[in-house]
Structure 1
Amino acid sequence: MNALFVLAAKDLRILAREPWSLFWVLGFPLVLALLFGFLYEGVGEGPRAHALRLAVVDEDGSLASARFADRLARTEELQVERLPQEEARERVRRGTLSAYVVIRRGYGDAPGFFWGECPPLAVGVDPARGAEKGFLQGILAREALGAMEERFADPETLRAEIRRARAALDLPAAGLDPDDRATLGRFLEAIDRFLGEARDHLVRGLPWRDAMRIESLPVAPETAARPRSSFEISFPQAILWAVMGCASFFAVSLAVERSQGTLLRLRFAPLGHARILAGKSLACLAACAAVQLLAVAFGRLAFGVRVLSLSGLLGAVGATAAGFTGLMMLAAALGRTEQVTGAIASSVFVLSAMIGGGAVPLMFMPPWLQTLSHASPVRWGILALEGAVWRGFGPVEMALPCGILLGLGLVGFAAGFVLSRRLEHG
């Protein structure tokens, strides 16, 4: 029995001597708990704590449309920018905004409301943000109905709208015969007299809600790209998980060769340390690129996933592979054993996926965590692949995500090379 306790104590001491293994056992679960706590911050507390970023386009330019835009800006669930329509649509297409709302011309002219026409509102949502679409439509319906109630809650305001509707009866465009025109005229005149004597509470219960509709808009012109299926949205995320698995494998493989002396034996060959690590990195780069191309080919054959830009796809695949190869080198150099290296690689890649939109939609993150997500290679890898698959990115638009991935790869490789040399000589 004493021998069992001695063996158990020995293994526990080994665990305590490996800081990264100890972190994986004790620290990483706490990090996940904190991260999920921040993600669910504000749930069940009334208004959402994580504002949805959108643009408002006011085509009407009336006092009523300006008040509605201000009403949206005051909504706690939204972070609103005022933009022209083309700029708003372009920013949604590039993924920097979640949606754009257009207040159509005629919003301030309410006579059409009495003929069953709702105030013109339209919304365009990024197709990659399906979780936000229903959330946003609910907010817009609530705020639009609230704005309509505000407009008509004042009897004098409503009387002015009715007088405008009565004047519209005499227009040729109304298309009414004399009897119908006379009947509607008497009806509106009676309402006008009634409202002249009514109190506010008699107006607030009018059934505006039956007329509320919201038009859906594309995020790009008809000639541009939109995803034809959900698989064109999901495949870039799945590809990034495959790349992370590939990079983790090569990080552990490099640590195994170091611990077993394979790298030391290669040093006696006419190869420098840099060339040995470059060869290992080239293998990881090729594997990461191959797994991406295979996934795209499978998506094309099985689910009809398109590739709008072949050159953009090759650039995204190469940049993503290079970025995660550099991170693989850094993870392999930080761990002295394969167990520690595996823990480091898993921690880094899982956290990158969680804050980069690979596991949880960015809209559910608090603002500071959304800002932190810009440091995640997963975020930029997904954006680069989406740009080539369905967003229709041009060379200039592809330059940002691909450049960031290449920069991360170079920094990771350089840091991994320096740390690896110190580890070999230490």
Structure 2
Amino acid sequence: MTAAIVRAMALSLLRDRGALAMTFLLPPVLFVLFAAVFAGTGGEVSVIKVAAARATDAASAEVFLAALHGAPDIVLERVEPAAVEARVSGGAADVGLVVRGDVAAPTDKPPLLLVTDPARNVAAALLAARIQRVLSQDLPGLALRRVAGQIEVLVGPFSAEQKSRLEQSVARAPELVASGGAELMERQPLPQRRAEPGVSYYAGAIAMLFLLFSAVQGAGSLVDERRSGVLDRIVMARGGVLALVAGKLIFLILQGLALCAVLFAVAQAVYGVHVLPHLGPFIAVALAASAAAAGVALPLAAVAHTRQQAQTLSTFAVLLLSAVGGSMVPRFLMPQWLQQLGVVTPTAWGIDAFQGALWRGEGMDTLAVPLAVLAGFALAGTAVTLWIIRRQVRLA
């Protein structure tokens, strides 16, 4: 009997080509993508977007920026010094860099100013490491001249007065170091918001992840209705397929709004995430993100023939969109090709919209683009679902 049950289940799986492919074909695909995502978190393959400006006439500044621009893991955007902070604050750059002094000479303050967003502190650390590597590997002359100049500031030239000046310099060494004479870089964080930036980011990331999971779970009723014959009776009623899809879309949006309300209420109460001060933009983002999740879930449920297919396909899609879109690892830590691929996922746009509304405090005018993209996912998914169900009804 046991052998017969095993044989029956094996035959059932082998005859269901969709379930067979999802069971043995999709896991290796997910492995390759997840390996690429998490390989970038160590920083070796991460590409950092840097808004760089030159605020000095020193010749070494241009040489340094040119060498940094040539680094394979740096995307350098040259802007005016006054625009650096705005580029970082708006999310267009991961970190800002202002060359404000001679990199090849001792200065009274660090010649390099890193403008950092607390939500992306790791990007500043990665840039600092890249700068050290550029100076040591590509521009060792600049580094040597700076060290030589610093030694000269401390001990003076070797002359008859060397001993006296050495003693004076040694006495002044703490003052020189405290004033930045021995430092190369200084960090200037953006003004701190009330909530921790990491909490604000992952509130949006977790919201997008569970919006997708809850949407695919709710949309799975399409499979049961089709297999039980209820779908045929529904589409013959008033409104037909349009009423069916519209009803499911509205329910999934309302379910998503309720999920966001609970999640962000906890984020506001426990971690001080700015929800109530930005309630209007937050509701707009939550509405668009819920609609986009429904737009992903409905076609997946419509195309699946069995619950097993729907469950496997939906899990694969949610994990894929969440990994590539940034729900698990911030996208700026991923390889460049994955960062570009993430732009086509609703997860990436939803996370950016939530962070823009709650962390950066952006208004509806700034959020118009991500909201429009999320709405586009919802409309496209709804249209595809209508086409699939109408085609199934005609073929039945």
The bucket for the TM-score relative to the shorter chain is 0.7 to 0.9
Q: Deviations over 1:100-144 (max 9, x none)?
A: 11112x3368354xxxx4532211233333443332233334545
Give the match for residue 83 of structure 2.
87
Distance 1:61 1:189 in 2: 27
Q: Provide TM-score, normalisation by structure 2.
A: 0.84
State the distance in 2 between where 1:98 and 1:262 align.
Answer: 52
Decide whether aligned partners of structure 1 residues 262 and 131 sit closer, same or farther in structure 2, where only a CA change above 3 A counts. Answer: farther
The residue aligned with 1:263 is: 231
* Separation (CA, whole Å) in 2 of partners of 1:12 and 1:259: 22
In structure 1, runs of 5+ residues without a counterpart are 166-183, 195-207
Kept in 2, the 8 Å contact 1:240–1:378? The answer is yes
Once the two structures are superposed, the pairs formed by residues 220-259 of structure 1 within 5 Å of their partners are 222=191, 227-259=195-227
User: What amino acid is the match of 1:63?
Assistant: A
Question: In structure 2, how many angstroms separate the alpha carbons of the residues matched to 1:309 and 1:264?
Answer: 45
2:259 pairs with 1:296: no
**3-state SS in 2 of match to 1:230:** helix
1:371 lines up with 2:340 in the alignment: yes
User: 1:350 and 2:341 equivalent?
Assistant: no
Alpha-carbon contact 2:105-2:150 (below 8 Å) kept: no
Give the CA RMSD over aligned residues.
Answer: 3.3
**2:379 maps to 1:410:** yes
Aligned pair partner of 2:247 in 267, 279, 287: 279
Q: Is residue 64 of structure 2 the alignment partner of residue 68 of structure 1?
A: yes
- After superposing the two structures, state which structure 1 stretch, 383-392 or 61-70, moved more: 61-70
* Aligned residue among 98, 116, 120 for 2:111: 120
Query: 1:251, CA displacement in angstroms?
Result: 2.0
Aligned equivalents of 2:350, 2:194: Cα separation in 1? 19
Residue 357 of structure 2: which of 375, 385, 388 is its match? 388
Does the 8 Å contact 1:236/1:385 carry over to 2?
Answer: yes
Query: What amino acid sits opposite 1:369 in the alignment?
Result: L
CA deviations over 1:228-273 (Å, ceiling 9, x no partner): 4532222111111221121121122222222223323334543422
- 2:145 and 2:113 map into 1 onto residues whose CA distance is 26
Aligned to 1:132: 123
Q: Shift of the alpha carbon at 1:11?
A: 2.0
1:409/1:10 CA distance change after superposition, 3 Å: same
Alpha-carbon separation, structure 1, partners of 2:210 and 2:39: 30
* SS class of match (1:53): strand
Q: How far does the alpha carbon of each residue in 1:377-413 deviate from its partner, in whole angstroms, 9 at most, with x for none?
A: 1000000111110112232320111111100110010
Name the SS for the 2:20 alignment partner.
Answer: helix
**Correspondence for 1:171:** none
Uncovered stretches (5+) of structure 2, i.e. residues with no partner: 163-176
Which structure has the larger Rg over C-alpha atoms? 1
TM superposition shift of 1:82? 1.4
CA distance in 1, matches of 2:254, 2:44: 44
| Counterpart residue number, 1:27 | 25
Aligned residue runs from structure 1 range 99-118, under 5 A: 99-104=95-100, 106-107=101-102, 110=105, 112=107, 117-118=108-109
- What's the offset of the Cα at 1:152? 6.3
- SS across alignment from 1:75: coil
Greater Cα offset, 333-342 or 19-28: 19-28
Match of 2:278 in 1: 309
Distance 1:131 1:36 in 2: 20
Residue 169 of structure 2: aligned partner: none
Of the three residues 49, 54, 58, the one matched with 2:50 is 54
Deviation string for 1:161-186 (max 9, x for gaps)? 96xx7xxxxxxxxxxxxxxxxxx9xx
Residues 65, 261 of structure 1: alpha-carbon distance in 2 compared, 3 angstrom cutoff: same
Q: What percentage of aligned pairs have identical amino acids?
A: 25
- Tell me which residue corresponds to 2:187: 216
Structure 1 contact 239–292 (Cα < 8 Å) conserved? yes
1:151 alignment counterpart:
142
The verdict on how the C-alpha distance between 1:123 and 1:227 changes in structure 2, with shifts beyond 3 A counting, is: farther
Deviation at 1:306, TM superposition (A): 0.9
Distance in 1 (CA, whole Å) between partners of 2:223 and 2:338 is 32
Q: Is the 8 A contact 1:55 1:101 kept in 2?
A: yes
Change (3 A) 1:362 1:277: same
Question: Aligned residue pairs: how many?
Answer: 378
Question: Are the equivalent residues in 2 in contact too, given 1:227–1:233 (CA < 8 A)?
Answer: no
